[in-house]
Amino acid sequence: MRVALYVCRVRDRWNMLLSLDLRVDVTWWLEGASGQQVLSWLLLDEALPLSQASWLIEHFEPERGMDQWNEGHWLAYMRRKVEAYDKLSGEQAARKEVAGLAGKAGMITAERRAGTSGMAAASRGAGVGGMPDAYPAEGWAQLEQGAALLAERFRGRQLLAAEAEALLADTVPQLASWRAAAQLARLHGRLSITAALDLPTRRRPAWLSAQGAPRCRRCGSVARQRVPCAACGQAACAYCEACLALGRSRACALLLRSAAPSAVRGTAALATGGGLARWGLSAAQSAAASAALAYLARPTSTEDGPGRFLLWAVTGAGKTEMIFPLLQHTLERGGRALVATPRRDVVLELAPRLAKAFPDVALATLYGGSTERWKDAQLTLATTHQLMRFYQGFDLVIIDELDAFPYNINSK
């Protein structure tokens, strides 16, 4: 996949961004939709491989004198950075995109004008390839609604482009241009758009992994395989074999992630003895469940990150019943909870038990072939493979049969 890449200076700070639909970015930055003063805007490339664009953005740092750079300085900067990417990624062929950068850039300088209420008015410079038009004004309000709807459907998820299209086709069929809506959601900070593979900043030791091998952002595995790719034009486009069954995660594949929602956990009243009594637990089970509830209710600073609690007992000890108070604690406070297990048969066995225990809570059951693939529910029961399609989407995650990890022939 190829995307547009540009830089803009806002409030004396340079930012580098990619775009799925440049018309949206032109309206956002140059037509005043962002409500921010844009001092400069420069289109670097209209069709750069996503893997390169994503890496350039992640490693972009403003340099001294950048405010005075002209197009020539930016082109030299791009050549230098893309060459560094090619060396790090193992790309051997000279990149046609670098040679084609000359003449593609067009500078837009914004100046404060009288009568603009502090907004930046823009005068467009003439680039050889011309500058993209703004998004049609008559469709902007509808696009804003579409972006909000898309962001809501993506809440707590991370999906490749094909999966995103399937989700939106099933849940928001009226959304005409999902790429434009996704780009606007990104500009609003409700969605992240990046490449599915993450190239390391420096070469890894040979004993640790393949030299310069990227990691899959979806499953975390090292991606050692590289093939020529018609989609991006790279001679060595890496892809991940570990999660291939869920769709090919490759260097130029688009990965869309929801912005992490605010967690609901924190200091809260513990379930009383009467609350635990509802579940018919034994004394030992009640003691274990109470300890877990105390963990859930403890004050937690955002700097600490998510914590972990281990409930360990032999088969048949009633661990499933002991998690019911934990689920109740989270669900009653408006949180989202997940119960994950490696095996599909366990998912199918637990589903009716959870449905009976929480009859008034929306339950999604996910496994290979499930008809509830895109169901939005407060309580989710899933095989662990399905979790690769989620991203920071739950306030409570309970993993059953932890001893089944890692998977066979997969120690990464």
Residue 162 to residue 149: CA distance in whole angstroms: 18
Instruction: Provide the mean pLDDT of the chain.
Output: 81
- The type of residue at 242 is A
Residue 60 is assigned to a structural domain of this protein: yes
Domain total of the chain: 2
Residue 258 to residue 157: CA distance in whole angstroms: 6
How much is the pLDDT for 104? 52
Domain boundary among 138, 165, 193: 193
Do the bridges between strand 379-383 and strand 363-366 make them parallel or antiparallel, or are there none, so unpaired?
A: parallel
Residue 211 is assigned to a structural domain of this protein: no
How much is the pLDDT for 112? 30
**386-390 contacts at long range (C-beta below 8 A, 24 or more positions apart):** 386/340, 387/338, 387/340, 388/158, 388/218, 388/219, 388/243, 388/246, 389/157, 389/158, 389/159, 389/163, 389/246, 390/156, 390/157, 390/158, 390/338
Q: Are residues 139 and 278 in the same domain?
A: no
How much is the pLDDT for 87? 82
Tokens of 380: 């989710």
Domain of residue 35: give its range.
2-193
Q: Answer whether residue 73 shows pLDDT above 60.
A: yes
Q: Are residues 182 and 307 in the same domain?
A: no
Q: Are residues 172 and 302 in the same domain?
A: no
Q: Are residues 63 and 152 in the same domain?
A: yes
Residue 363's CATH number: 3.40.50.300
Task: Yes or no: say if 218 and 158 are a contact pair by the CB < 8 Å rule.
Answer: yes
Phi, psi (deg, nearest 5) at residue 198: -110, 115
Domain boundary among 169, 193, 217: 193
276-305: pLDDT as tens digits: 878 888 898 899 899 988 888 876 655 555
* Burial label, 57 (beta-carbon count in 10 A; 0-12, 13-18, 19+): middle
pTM for this model (two decimals): 0.83
pLDDT band at residue 349 under the 50/70/90 scheme: very high
Q: Are residues 64 and 185 in the same domain?
A: yes
373-406: pLDDT as tens digits: 999 899 999 998 899 999 989 999 998 876 665 5
Domain boundary among 193, 211, 235: 193
Residue 372 is assigned to a structural domain of this protein: yes
Q: Are residues 305 and 167 in the same domain?
A: no
Q: Are residues 28 and 126 in the same domain?
A: yes
Residue predicted with more confidence, 113 or 146? 146
Cα–Cα separations (whole angstroms), residue 206 to 179, 200, 213: 39, 13, 10
Residue 202 to residue 196: CA distance in whole angstroms: 18
152-166: pLDDT as tens digits: 999 999 999 999 999
Residue 158 to residue 386: CA distance in whole angstroms: 11
Q: Are residues 34 and 159 in the same domain?
A: yes
Tokens of 147: 């972006």
Cα–chain-centroid distance for residue 371?
24
Q: Are residues 156 and 295 in the same domain?
A: no
- How large is the average pLDDT for residues 46-57? 93
Residue 159 to residue 8: CA distance in whole angstroms: 28
Residue 410 is assigned to a structural domain of this protein: no
pLDDT band at residue 18 under the 50/70/90 scheme: very high
Cα–Cα separations (whole angstroms), residue 335 to 65, 79, 102, 394: 48, 48, 52, 7
Residue 65 is assigned to a structural domain of this protein: yes
Q: Answer whether residue 99 shows pLDDT above 90.
A: no
Residue 89 region by backbone torsions, left for phi larger than 0, else alpha for psi between -120 and 50, else beta: alpha
- The type of residue at 202 is R
Q: Which residues contact 137 (CB under 8 A, 6 or more apart)?
A: none
Q: Radius of gyration over alpha carbons of the chain, in Å?
A: 25
Q: Are residues 278 and 133 in the same domain?
A: no
Q: Are residues 27 and 160 in the same domain?
A: yes
Q: Which residues contact 118 (CB under 8 A, 6 or more apart)?
A: 37, 112
* Burial label, 329 (beta-carbon count in 10 A; 0-12, 13-18, 19+): buried
* Helix 50-58 and helix 71-89, axial crossing angle in degrees, nearest 10: 110
Q: Which residues contact 43 (CB under 8 A, 6 or more apart)?
A: 4, 5, 6, 22, 104, 105, 106, 108, 127, 131, 132
Residue 106 is assigned to a structural domain of this protein: yes
